[in-house]
């Protein structure tokens, strides 16, 4: 079953582009990565899914229900953590979290709130305005997860968290996922996506340019090839079908290769080289490849 189904979702801000014909689906139980640089349309997609923005065309469904017709019902089971968090400054953390619990039907929210606050080392008695940015972010995590949502939507969630807290946060997300929650994880930090997600969509200039398994994206398609030698016949390699992203510096030739590996090894064997490296590209390198 699909938890999220976006179909041809389009949103313009006046004349400027937000997202164009975004189509993707997230399956139940998976951690879905959504990557792209700032301004690519990640937040616009998420905000449209959550009913903060109204699309110009296309449909957005969560749990099989329309995001705009059944917004409140859907959001009963969504936990959202934005990149920038803002809460009512004059409130105490505990009051804000109790207020939050009041919106949800889940009766265990308050118990889980205490558990999460303890894990995140969050002082519930402080006023929001007295919290550091990192601590406000912790409030965000607690208020987003306290009702044990079936879908967790994260929009660049780790900014402002120190590495130790980031790790704790990822552990919590993994645990929620093991307990059945699906996760939609938007980020431009590829290492995070790589370590956490099952599938990933890449968005560029408001359009989805690739949706694939992280594994197949890394393994099946591209190999990163590095050749070292005094006289590399670069033309021969560059002309090989399936070679892209060529970097030729001094005695080193680097490129991505997607094609028959025997052709490549045949060519390699015909030349005198000092070293050959054929490796899996990192997600970052794949990402840069799509962004050229």
Partner 1 sequence: MLNILKYELKLHLKSLIIWGISLVILAALLMLFYPTFGDDVALVDKMLENYPKELLQAFGMGGQLSLATVPGYFSFVFVFLQLMLAIQASNYGFSILSVEERELTADYLMTKPVSRSEIYISKFLASVIIMILSSGIAIVASLISIEAFRNGHPYDQERMVLLLLTLLPLSLLFLSLSLFISTLLKKVKSVLSLSLGLCFGLYIVNSVQTIVGGKWVSGLIPFHYFEPNYILENGELNTNYFMMYFIIVVVSIVVSYKTYLTKDIHSV
Residue 129: CB minimum distance to partner 1, A: 11
Among 23, 53, 126, 213, binds partner 1 (CB under 8 A): 53
Among 45, 143, 186, 187, binds partner 1 (CB under 8 A): 143
Residue 285's contacts (CB-CB under 8 Å, 6 or more residues apart) are 224, 245, 256
Residues 72-91 binding partner 1 (CB under 8 A) are: 72-76, 78, 80, 82, 84-89
Among 50, 172, 200, 232, binds partner 1 (CB under 8 A): 50
Residue 44: CB minimum distance to partner 1, A: 8
Instruction: Dig out the tokens for 150 from the structure.
Output: 């079936």
Among 27, 99, 220, 247, binds partner 1 (CB under 8 A): 99
Query: Pattern 13-42, binding to partner 1, x per CB under 8 A?
Result: x-----------------------------
User: Which range touches partner 1 (CB under 8 A), out of 47-55, 59-67, 162-170, 238-246?
Assistant: 47-55
Residues in touch with partner 1 (CB under 8 A): 13, 43, 47, 50-54, 71-76, 78, 80, 82, 84-89, 99-100, 102-104, 143
């Amino acid at each position: 079953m699909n938890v999220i189904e976006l179909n041809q979702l389009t949103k313009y801000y006046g004349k400027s582009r937000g997202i164009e014909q975004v189509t993707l689906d997230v399956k139940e139980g998976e951690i879905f990565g959504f990557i792209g640089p700032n301004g690519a349309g990640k937040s616009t997609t998420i905000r449209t899914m959550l009913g903060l923005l109204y699309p110009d065309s296309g449909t957005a469904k969560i749990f099989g229900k329309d995001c705009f017709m059944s917004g409140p019902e859907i959001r009963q089971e969504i936990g959202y953590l934005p990149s920038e968090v803002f809460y009512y400054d004059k409130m105490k953390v505990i009051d804000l979290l109790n207020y939050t619990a009041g919106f949800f039907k889940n009766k265990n929210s308050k118990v889980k709130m205490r558990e999460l606050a303890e894990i995140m080392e969050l002082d519930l008695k402080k006023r929001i305005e007295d919290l550091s940015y990192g601590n406000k972010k912790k409030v965000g995590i607690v208020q987003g997860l306290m009702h044990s949502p079936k879908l967790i939507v994260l929009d660049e969630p780790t900014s402002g968290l120190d590495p130790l807290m980031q790790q704790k946060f990822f552990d919590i997300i993994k645990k929620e996922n093991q307990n059945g929650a699906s996760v939609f994880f938007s980020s431009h930090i590829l290492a995070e996506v790589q370590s956490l997600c099952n599938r990933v969509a890449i968005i560029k200039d408001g359009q989805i340019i690739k949706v694939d398994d992280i594994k197949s994206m890394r393994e099946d398609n591209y190999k990163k090839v590095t050749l070292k030698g005094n006289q590399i016949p670069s033309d021969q390699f560059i002309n090989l079908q399936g070679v892209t992203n060529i970097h030729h510096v001094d005695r080193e030739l680097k490129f991505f290769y997607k094609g028959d590996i025997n052709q490549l090894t045949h060519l390699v064997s015909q030349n005198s080289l000092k070293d050959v490296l054929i490796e899996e590209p990192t997600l970052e390198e794949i990402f840069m490849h799509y962004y050229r």
